[in-house]
Amino acid sequence: MLGYKSNNNVVYSSNYHVVWCPKYRRKVLVDKVAKRLFELIPKAASKYRAEVIALEIRPDQVPLLIEVDPQFGIHRLIKCIKGVTSHDLRKEFASLRTRLPSLWTNSYFCSTVGGAPLEVIQQYVENQKKV
């Protein structure tokens, strides 16, 4: 099944567009910090059996396209990635400890990606009672 993954219970294709920002939207994700973050995110994602499809590091935000096991959940994954990256970056770069009380905001943007348009799924569900 091309484009799908599975675990013991689920066959899935759960792709998400996620964006989060540093606290106070500070432009701290530059130079060595950005380079290190670019290494840490895929490493953290793979630890939780997620796959980074696309990643961009901007000075004041992190846009990410990622696939995650739906049984693990996107919220849990992002919480783990933000925790791991914040811990490692603040340990390595003293400037992040002095400029910010915590590296990331608590919030993030998340949107599902791919699959059929909503109208097609709605029609499919409605037509199931006729089968």
- Cβ atoms of 44 and 85 closer than 8 Å: yes
When the pLDDT of each residue in the chain is averaged and rounded to a whole number, the result is 92
Report the SS3 class of residue 70.
coil
pTM, two decimal places: 0.87
Burial of 50 (0-12, 13-18, 19+ CB in 10 A): buried
Across 1-131, the runs of DSSP E, i.e. the strands, are: 5-6, 11-12, 15-20, 51-55, 62-67, 109-113
Question: For residue 129, what pLDDT band results from cuts at 50, 70 and 90?
Answer: low
Residue 131 has pLDDT above 70, yes or no: no
Question: For residue 107, what pLDDT band results from cuts at 50, 70 and 90?
Answer: very high
Report the SS3 class of residue 108.
coil
> By C-alpha distance, which of 113, 6, 15 is closest to 67?
15
Other beta carbons less than 10 A from residue 64's beta carbon: 23
pLDDT one-digit tens code per residue, 92-105 = 999 999 989 999 99
Residue 126 has pLDDT above 90, yes or no: no
Active-site residue set: 124
**pLDDT reported for residue 11:** 92
